[in-house]
């Protein structure tokens, strides 16, 4: 087994980096926005979860879209974006398999890295079997 002799120094350095990043977060976010715009990315700002969700909802509505494909994101879990969009008539499809399993089972992810970690193979098979019947109706 390998030991890192300077682990305490590395822990202190990581803590200092985190502290620096958080104390300069505004500057880093503005720098990110400038570089994103330079690469033709549109950046939206939101003050809270409600504003975030309304902004996201406005995008498919502005394009007369009724569905949205979503990738895994802790932010969308924290803002409860999925139920908000569904309640507002937007069909949402998860691209992450674990997130999709949980979505098909009408459950929230159990955790961010492995959203369906608590489900056994048989549980997943049952979800797919039940939902494929419902999807074919």
Tens-place pLDDT, residues 25-70: 999 999 999 999 999 999 999 999 999 999 999 999 999 999 998 8
Is position 12 within any domain? yes
Q: Which of 36-40, 83-87, 106-110, 115-119 has the highest mean pLDDT?
A: 36-40
Is position 13 within any domain? yes
In this structure, are 33 and 90 located in the same domain? no
In this structure, are 18 and 71 located in the same domain? no
In this structure, are 31 and 70 located in the same domain? no
Q: For 84-102, what is the mean pLDDT?
A: 86
User: 92: which strand partners?
Assistant: 68
Total structural domains in the chain?
2
Range of the domain at 129: 66-136
pTM: 0.70
Residues 6+ apart with CB under 8 A from 10: 4
In this structure, are 19 and 71 located in the same domain? no
Is position 129 within any domain? yes
Q: For 80-93, what is the mean pLDDT?
A: 91
In this prediction, residue 98 carries a pLDDT of 76
In this structure, are 34 and 74 located in the same domain? no
E strand or H helix at 92:
strand 91-94
In this structure, are 25 and 71 located in the same domain? no
Please give the Cα distance from 38 to 8 (Å, whole number): 40
Is position 59 within any domain? no
In this structure, are 71 and 128 located in the same domain? yes
């Amino acid at each position: 087994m390998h030991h890192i002799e300077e682990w305490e120094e590395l822990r202190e350095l990581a803590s200092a980096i985190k502290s620096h990043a958080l104390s300069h977060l505004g500057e880093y976010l503005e720098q990110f926005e400038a570089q994103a715009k330079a690469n033709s990315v549109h950046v939206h700002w939101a003050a809270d979860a409600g504003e975030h969700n309304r902004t996201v909802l406005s995008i498919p509505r502005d394009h007369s879209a009724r569905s949205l494909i979503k990738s895994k994101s802790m932010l969308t879990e924290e803002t409860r974006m999925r139920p908000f969009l569904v309640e507002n008539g937007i069909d949402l499809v998860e691209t992450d398999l674990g997130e999709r399993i949980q979505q098909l089972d009408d459950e929230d992810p159990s955790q961010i890295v492995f959203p369906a970690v608590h489900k056994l193979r048989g549980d997943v098979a049952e979800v797919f079997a039940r939902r494929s019947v419902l999807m074919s109706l």
